Chain A
Amino acid sequence: MSDQPREQWGTRAGFILAAIGSAVGLGNIWRFPAEAYRNGGGAFLLPYLIALLTAGLPLLIMEYTIGRRHRGSAPASFRRLGKPAQFIGWWQVAICFVIATYYGLILAWAVRYVGFSVGQEWGGDAEGFLFVDFLQVGDTPGEIGGYVPGVFWPLLAVWVVVLVILALGVRRGIETANKIFIPLLVAFFVVLVIRALTLDGAAQGLDAFFTPDWGALTDGNVWVAAYGQIFFSLSVGFGIMITYASYLGRRSDLTGSALVAGFANSSFEILAGIGVFATLGFLAAGSGGAVFDTEGGLGLAFVAFPTIISEMPWGGFFGVLFFGSLVIAGLTSLISIVQVIVSAVQDRLRMARVPAVLMVGGLVALASVLLYPTEGGLYLLDAADRFINRYGIALAALVAVVFVAWILRKLPMLQGDADATSAVRLGRWWRVCLGVVTPLVLGLMLIDALTQELGENYEGYPTSFLLWAGWGVAGAALLVGILLALIPWRREDTPVAAHSDDQRSK
């Protein structure tokens, strides 16, 4: 049992660095460049910035405000905001559980690739090396198959590091780790980009990336893609920012910090776009053909980049920087994802941090280590990631905004709260963005996604496999959220009056 005061960040900079560490993840490095290229190149900047200002930052500020006001994990904060909303918090916890299990796996691959880069062990066939030699991917989606030791051990190591950092606490663990890792990540990436820009063909790559296609702006899909990119890259919608803001002091700034974190995230994305496309330009110059239409994601990081690393002078050094950056960016994000679950359990069961970390983290790590470092692990990851992103994070965010703005009608109160202590005051635009723009765009994104899903099976996977590994996983997260919210709280576990809007209004 724990009646300790709630932990707090040591400094404002520590909180902002942790928020940046959470937002800057794998998606910034491998998703943004591909999305921007496919959706108008340089012209993508316009919808991207509008999406940042009208959905990304307003949502970030909403989550910060809810977290700081109610000083609790996602479920506790939503419960204090209005009892019926509690299930959203538990839903987000379940989503974080799913994501944490496979996010750790990608980190484990990146850790191995730091080592592989030194001797360029993939030889002349990076794709064959990844799927056959390293991952030993099985033939049938849905079959777990045997364990792959080369993935199992680094995955275990990743989990030990994450759990040790979380066990050290918000200030000594998470804050200290981010104060070390974020400057290190920036340093790694700046060196990487400088190296990329000095490669032959770099200008050709940047030309492909930044040449604007203004016609794309009349295409609705481009706008949906811009909102999707902002949304997934900012780490909003799954309880992380509520959790991190719950460790802020009552008088700390919210909106100014959100602006810094949001723009820092986008700054990193632009840097990643420059680095990735300058590098792809080198490959194009060598092969004489256009190779820019990358899908992004795993193929870009673990197939295209190794191929390029083998061809460039000082390739090993470049590989260590690139995969090292992936490890750092992913690690700081994974820490924040697991913290959502740890803090929910701590609040609900009134547990001290270390037992909560051991119990929760142990459970996530166990699921991760049992399911994924296997021959069928890649298929599981692919299906779970696709469906939990769309019908987990995006759907939960839509439900959260609708609840806060329209059912509980808390936006004016939250605005007053944020304005009372913040560097930048919110205007009516903030309520309009959250009440109208964000739900509309999220709704459109989901309709668009559903149309694709019903049109053809994702990646041509068998329907039976998608039913449990995709739809099943996303549906189970919602179900778990609802069931956990139905468990009654003991009297002494209910929030104190000072924190609860329900009780305050009585």
Chain B
Amino acid sequence: MSVSAVVMLIVSIVVVWGGLLLAVLRLRAHPEVAEPPESPESHSL
């Protein structure tokens, strides 16, 4: 493989998979909120 191809392979993986990792970490730091079940009358549609 040429040097430029190897560099782009690494950059692609780091940016996209790194982006996924950061997004997951960010979401984990924002905990899920438990919500009460909804009553039927709030859904007429």
Contacts and interface: CB of A to CB of B under 8 A. Distances in A.
Interface of A: 3-6, 8, 11-12, 41-43, 45, 49, 71-72, 76, 203, 206-207, 209-212, 249-253, 256-257, 259-260, 262-264, 266-267, 270, 274, 347, 350, 421-424, 492-496, 498-499
Interface in B1-45: 1-2, 4-9, 11-13, 15-17, 19-20, 23-24, 26-27, 29-30, 32-33, 35, 37-45
7 contacts: A12-B32, A249-B35, A252-B33, A253-B30, A267-B16, A270-B12, A492-B44
A186 to B, nearest CB: 12
A45 B15 contact: yes
Contacts of B15: 45, 49
B45 A76 contact: yes
Contact of A423 (B27, B39, B40): B27
A260 B20 contact: yes
Interface of B: 1-2, 4-9, 11-13, 15-17, 19-20, 23-24, 26-27, 29-30, 32-33, 35, 37-45
Nearest to A53: B19
A256 B4 contact: no
A256 to B, nearest CB: 4
Contacts of A267: 16-17, 20
B29 A495 contact: no
A206 B12 contact: no
B29 A260 contact: no
A212 B17 CA distance: 19
Contact of A498 (B6, B33, B42): B42
Contact of B26 (A43, A259, A498): A259
A260 B35 CA distance: 22
Given A211-B5, A256-B27, A270 B44 contact: no
A214 to B, nearest CB: 9
Contacts of B2: 207, 211
A253 B26 CA distance: 11
Nearest to A262: B23
A216 to B, nearest CB: 13
B26 A423 contact: yes
Given A42-B4, A249-B35, A251-B33, A71 B43 contact: yes
Contact of B43 (A3, A12, A422, A494): A3
A29 to B, nearest CB: 16
A250 B23 CA distance: 21
Identify which of A6, A76, A209, A210 gathers the most chain B CB atoms within 10 Å of its CB: A210
B26 A424 contact: yes
A103 to B, nearest CB: 26
Contacts of A249: 33, 35
A251 B34 CA distance: 8
B40 to A, nearest CB: 5
